[in-house]
Amino acid sequence: MSDAPRRSSRASVRTAAPTPAPVASSSRQTPRPARTKAVKKAIDPDEQLRILLHEPTSALVGLDLSDIINATTLASFSPATQARLAALLPPSAFKSFIPTLGNSHPSLRQEPPPDAPVPDDSDVEMPTAASSPLTQPPSSPLSPPPSSPPAPAPSQLGPEASAESWQFEDTPPDVDPAFFTSPHFLSAMRTFQDHLYTGWLTAEHDAVVREYSEGVQAGTMHAPWKDVVWESEHGADEYTPEKEEQKAGDGLGKRVECKLSDLARAGFLKVDDLIAYKRRFMALSSTIESDVLIISIDPKSYSMDVRILTGPAAPLASSFVDPDPDKSVSIGASDNSEVTVLTAAQLETAILDGDGRVPRLSRPNGNAWKVFTVWRLPETGIEDDNGQGHRSGRVIQGTLFYLRSCYLSDQ
């Protein structure tokens, strides 16, 4: 008999896992709804075209437009469609285009020889449009004279005429394929993509541009960035409308208080200066002109004694204002008068009273400083008067308005 141990026949003390109780099925469970297929929303073709051509989310932003707009794509359309598309192209896109030079090009100018006599004005014959060398076909390698006039390009006839002229023909328009690869056309397509990406073609941006343009025309547009630039360039003083109004009021007060005597005291007006007056009176359809000569300046009050004409006349004669006493000619008291003035308004009133053509009620209450121009003899002597014989070689110094601005800036 074997000595190996024998297995016990006793039952295991381990308990079997409990069997789960059956769950009673409920007859009132909610049935699961069936999944329906999503229906795509129809896209309006007009809205899709607007997004494609105006919105920054357009698919044209990230594409190479040369793959879409090229000679191969144009050739795939019918001749009638090609004619409508060709009407949008410039004249240089067609094979019949002949480059020409403008009439202002230097190579088309015909200079006379150096030894050629200068003709008189009476002998000069005005060239006509048919005989002018500028209207003749240029003899340049860039533009050989054609044997027959080329047919006009579809773009030169307009969209409707182009479509009608090519609609019943089987021959498509003679578009040059090299046009689609020219750097000018490629640059134009890239510029269109840039404007499309930055939103410059949207309706919102168009409204902003329209509002800005209307504001500029009406004078009501305010650009805040200009205030920032002004503050950065003109110190740390805070800009306020009150300060600007006060500053404008101070400047206006200084301009109102300034008189001719102040300019004479500062040396802007001197003896022998000629003050030319000219004002246009629209109500009377006439222009009043007169020259005023400064005779003397009072050393204490700096009031000026001036000599002006009395009565309707042209500006003073050269003998009247010539600084050389030997050449001067005596003029009767009825031809001129001497008055003492302190302001520009007094001077204008004296001139108009002496002229007599403008009644006091018809005189405008305008700025008298802008209608007077000061002429002065140069320090080196009398120079060429450049056709101003009545001013005896004097040189213009500027208007009284300009001299007053210079005086106030010095103050």
Reduced to 3 states (helix: H, G, I; strand: E, B; else coil), residue 341 is: strand
Cβ atoms 366, 345 nearer than 8 A: no
> What does the pLDDT read at residue 319?
47
**For residue 328, is pLDDT > 80?**
no
278-318 confidence digits (pLDDT tens): 888 887 888 888 888 999 999 888 889 998 866 555 455 44
Predicted local distance difference test score (pLDDT) of residue 102: 80
Distance CA 315, CA 387 (A): 14
CB of 267 closer than 8 Å to CB of 273: no
**Is the pLDDT score of 191 beyond 50?**
yes
Instruction: Output the DSSP codes for 1-38.
Output: ---SPPPP-SPP-PPPPPPPPPPPPPTTPPPPPPPPPP
Can you tell me the mean pLDDT for 204-215? Answer: 91
**CA atoms within a 13 Å half-sphere pointing along the CA-CB vector of 278:** 7
Highest mean pLDDT of the ranges 114-128, 228-242, 385-399: 385-399
Least confident of 201-210, 233-242, 276-285, 341-350: 233-242
A 10 A CB-CB count for 340 gives 14
Helix axes 159-167, 79-86, angle to 10 degrees: 160
d(CA 380, CA 34): 109
Please check the confidence at residue 18 and state whether its pLDDT lies above 90. no
pTM (global) more than 0.85: no
Choose between 336 and 334: higher pLDDT: 336
Q: Rounded mean pLDDT of 24-45?
A: 69
